[in-house]
Amino acid sequence: MAAERKENVVLFPFMGQGHIIPFLALALHIEREKGYSVTFINTPLNISKLRSSLPPNSSIRLLEIPFTSSDHGLPPNSENTDVLPYHLVVRLLRASTSLKPAFKKLLQDLIHQHHGHRPLCVIVDIFFGWTINVAKELGLFHAVFSGCSGFGLACYYSLWLNLPHRKVDSLEFSLPDFEEASTIHISQLPKNILEADGKDPWATYLQENLSAWVDSDGILFNTVEDFDRLGMLYFRRKLDRPVWPIGPVLLSSESRSSIGKETLVTPELCREWLNSKPTNSVLYVSFGSMNTISTSQMMQLALALEGCGKNFIWVVRPPIGFDINSEFKANEWLPEGFEDRMKGSSRGLLIPKWASQVEILSHRAVSAFLSHCGWNSTLEALSHGVPLLGWPMAAEQFFNVKLLEEEMGVCVEVARGKSCEFRHEELVGKIQLVMDDTEKGNEMRRKASEVSEMTKNAMKNENGVKGSSIRAIDNLFDAAARQMENTEGRQS
């Protein structure tokens, strides 16, 4: 009997923490669930950060694709959105297309190393529509993996391809191909969409790359069919392709060190602090890996945190206008004496730059999460039954909040965008509404724990009973295997 062939799956995320993290989670999930080998492609600096700490029992192969940021008008050694100011992110996107010949060569080399046997499947980032032709030329099954929600990405996709706000005078409008999303308010548009005229760098890049998806073999989402049906419906209808909701795939806190981020407040210290707090008493505040708020918003937020009387952990990134790598400057960014008062009363823990988020969200002391509602953060909160206070800032986050608030009932929107003005008193009211023993707060907690159950059920794989997300990943690889058989059958 011939030895069983170990299929190889190639993964290639965009160079940003919000993309690399779910791809790494997917890689570990594929390795564990399917037993396939995984080749993980990225640029040298990202690979070297990942290399230091893949779980010891993982055989994921990390493969560098050559890239020199300074060749593309980017600062030297800038290979990840987390070291770039927001306005340069689009340049990194555009620079990614220069990887096309190297990507093709890597795939050819892989086929060669496996004696002509092709990878079962190439799974790429939502921003890498340009990879589809390469995969097709080599006869490979190609899928896009979205770390965004289906609903959020459906709105984002439709907005970029239709720019509907350019065609109406009103402040509210609906999406021409996604009426189920009801109305969108102009204030929910990310800045780059609001300003897009179809010829700007964001629009030209995204319109080309998103519309290329119709030629991919299907789209995977890090989401759960049960709470993200509308988004799945949109893409099935729009692309006439299979859509596989396979989530949530999440990185455990142990695997987190693998993303190569230093935390200035150690996880141990953070754990000790949380251990000293009563159950359900802490508000966790963080806006992800890329976004920052203005200094005046930061002041109001600090006043609200002080005024609400709750315990809190706040991951503080430098405000807009400061270098992203700037040292923590309490006296310039925060109200006078704030840091000392919070330390003195042990009510607030300020963590500069980066925290071990999953560990925090899974702690019994955490009761709510004030978040920009990036989808990774959202899934991390929901899988632990933590309700959200939403402050969307960019990309599809505005529509994640819409889904979470209007459809799922697990979120209250507290602010919108990086330049909105709000008064701390309003935020205090909303924090108390969600965290206190109010009808709304209790209802949100109940719904969040229902959603947490849904996420567990979707990922269940016990005694032959498979949840919806496990069945979806089986279906993806069955489709890939069928295509491989056809291709190899034709060639033999």
Residues in touch with ligand UDP (CB under 6 A): 17-18, 21, 286, 288-291, 315, 354-355, 357-358, 374-377, 380
Beta carbon of residue 377, minimum distance to ligand UDP (angstroms, whole number): 3
Supply the minimum distance, in Å, between the C-beta of residue 22 and ligand UDP.
7
> Would strands 183-185 and 172-174 be described as parallel, antiparallel, or unpaired?
antiparallel
- Pairing mode of beta strands 121-125, 8-12: parallel
H/E stretch holding 237 reads helix 229-239
- The residue (of 263 and 367) whose beta carbon lies closer to ligand UDP is 263
Amino acid at 52: S
Tokens of 354: 């980066």
Cβ proximity to ligand UDP: between 258 and 286 the closer is: 286
Nearest distance in Å: CB 134, ligand UDP: 25
Residue closer to ligand UDP, measured from CB, 117 or 261:
261
Alpha-carbon distance of 136 to 149, in angstroms, equals 27
Residue with tokens 């925290």: 355
The span from the CA of 54 to the CA of 317, in Å, is 26
Residue 31: CA atoms inside 13 Å, Cβ hemisphere, count?
19
Shortest CB 381 distance to ligand UDP, Å: 9
Closer to ligand UDP by Cβ: residue 110 or 144: 144
- HSE-CB for 439 with a 13 A CA cutoff: 0
Give the residue from 162, 105, 100 showing the smallest Cα distance to 131.
100
CB-nearer residue toward ligand UDP: 326 or 487 = 326
Token pair of 484 as six digits = 């491989």
Strands (E), 270-416: 282-286, 311-316, 348-352, 366-371, 388-390, 411-413
Residue whose beta carbon is closest to ligand UDP = 18
Of 121 and 301, the one with the shorter C-beta distance to ligand UDP is 301
Sign, CA dihedral 371-377-382-383, equals negative
Structural contact between residues 85 and 105, judged by C-beta atoms closer than 8 angstroms: no
Give the nearest distance from C-beta 288 to ligand UDP in angstroms. Answer: 3
Nearer to ligand UDP, 368 or 480 (CB): 368
Least distance in angstroms from the C-beta of 371 to ligand UDP: 7
Instruction: Indicate the residue among 192 and 286 with the shorter CB distance to ligand UDP.
Output: 286
Minimal distance, residue 395 CB to ligand UDP, in Å: 7
User: Nearer Cβ to ligand UDP, position 86 or 422?
Assistant: 86
- Cα(458)–Cα(229) distance, rounded to whole angstroms? 13
**In the complex, least distance from residue 115 CB atom to ligand UDP, rounded to whole angstroms:** 38
Shortest reach from residue 174's CB to ligand UDP, in Å: 26
- Say which DSSP state 459 is in: T
Using alpha carbons, select from 358, 259, 235 the residue that is nearest to residue 27: 259
